[in-house]
Structure 1
Amino acid sequence: MLTEMALSVWVQATKSGIIAMLAVLPAVVEYGARIIAPKGHIIYPD
């Protein structure tokens, strides 16, 4: 019984963690691109 509860809590935490990562990912990629682009002479279209 306790194991099932712990598992469901872990699944919920994992899901919310993945959603949070997916929400933050575009901002991180854009931030990284802004730093790397001038050095690497890579042009990203807006």
Structure 2
Amino acid sequence: MIPTLILFIVFLQYLISQKQSDVAEKEREEVRLLQDERRARRAASEKALEE
């Protein structure tokens, strides 16, 4: 019984750690998209100022 509980706890810890890494990856992707949008806006405004 106890070995089963220990295995179950280890399995749950693994699932939790995987979920946290997935969340971190999504946040990195969102940051990258925001940075790309900001760069595009800056480039567009600089181009408009040049004209």
TM bucket (normalised to shorter chain) is 0.5 to 0.7
The residue number in structure 1 matching 2:22 is: 4
The runs of 5 or more residues in structure 2 that have no matched partner are: 1-18
Aligned residues: 33
More helix by share: 2
| Alpha-carbon distance in 2 for matches of 1:30, 1:19 | 16
Percent identity, please: 3
Q: How far off its partner does 1:30 sit?
A: 6.0
Structure showing greater Rg: 2
The residue number in structure 2 matching 1:15 is: 33
Name the TM-score, length of structure 1 as normaliser: 0.56
Highest RCO, 1 vs 2 (Cα 8 Å, sep ≥ 6): 1
Runs of 4+ more than 4 Å apart: none
Name the TM-score, length of structure 2 as normaliser: 0.51
